[in-house]
Amino acid sequence: MNLRTLRSMGALALLTILVACASAAPIPAQVTTGAPPAGQAGVSGDTLDPNWVPAGFGTLRQDDIALKSSPANGLQIRAIPLDERIIRLLSPDSYRALSELQASKRTALLAVKERNRLPAYSIWYVSFFALEQGETRFSPQEFIIGNGGRDYRPLDIVPLTPGFGEYRLKQREVQSALLIFDGQIDLNQPVTAQLESVPSVTDWNTVLQRVERERALVRSRAAAKR
């Protein structure tokens, strides 16, 4: 066997080893695009949604995006839409808290979707708080969201606090749950809430103006960071 043949065989062996190593190399991790949770109302599922912004750059407080209502007997209600396009405008700690809250109830929320056969749903974090002494009763099934000329009642309820199902409060006590509504609720349009025929005191148009301002600021902060 001559020298030229040996060199050819050596080159072929080296090429074989390189190909084998390349085949065994790990596949790079897929880049996360920040797509919204599947089934959430009105979300396109990609980053082309003009209302979609990166998380971690917001400064809003939960009260800045909440619907508030004060029906009779000293009962106070706060309802926050858990829509990614809105809660990403919250401060990092608030956003993380609400995201982890949803994640902790993922199994229950998937079960709700299976029961109701919903293509999309609107999840609201609703808290009931009692001011007056004695016992204050509340009925989450009567918490109605008005939007687009329609009234939406909860399709299902996922309790968050022990004793929520008793539907009564002691003074200064808070009971909370995730209320799941039809995904046709459009948060870009006026939204109202009512309980016992008492409308919410929050002007949603003011909330939308606040949201739009913060959305522009978040884009600016994210661009500067990049």
Is the pLDDT score of 200 beyond 90?
no
Spell out where 15-167 has E strands: 67-69, 75-81, 121-130, 136-137, 144-147, 150-152, 156-159
How much is the mean pLDDT over the chain?
82
pLDDT at position 13: 43
Amino acid identity, residue 66? A
Place of tokens 């809660």: 87
Q: Give per-residue pLDDT as tens, 114-137.
A: 999 888 999 999 999 998 888 999
pLDDT at position 48: 64
DSSP state of 31: P
The average pLDDT across 48-55 equals 87
CATH number of 63-217: 2.60.40
Q: Which residues contact 204 (CB under 8 A, 6 or more apart)?
A: 67, 190, 191, 192
Neighbours of 106 (CB within 10 A): 10
Q: Give per-residue pLDDT as tens, 67-96.
A: 998 887 789 999 999 999 999 999 999 999
Would you kindly state where each structural domain of the chain is located, as residue ranges? Answer: 63-217
Dihedral-angle region of residue 117 (phi above 0 means left; psi in -120 to 50 means alpha; beta otherwise): left
Report yes or no: 190 and 126 within 8 Å, Cβ to Cβ. Answer: no
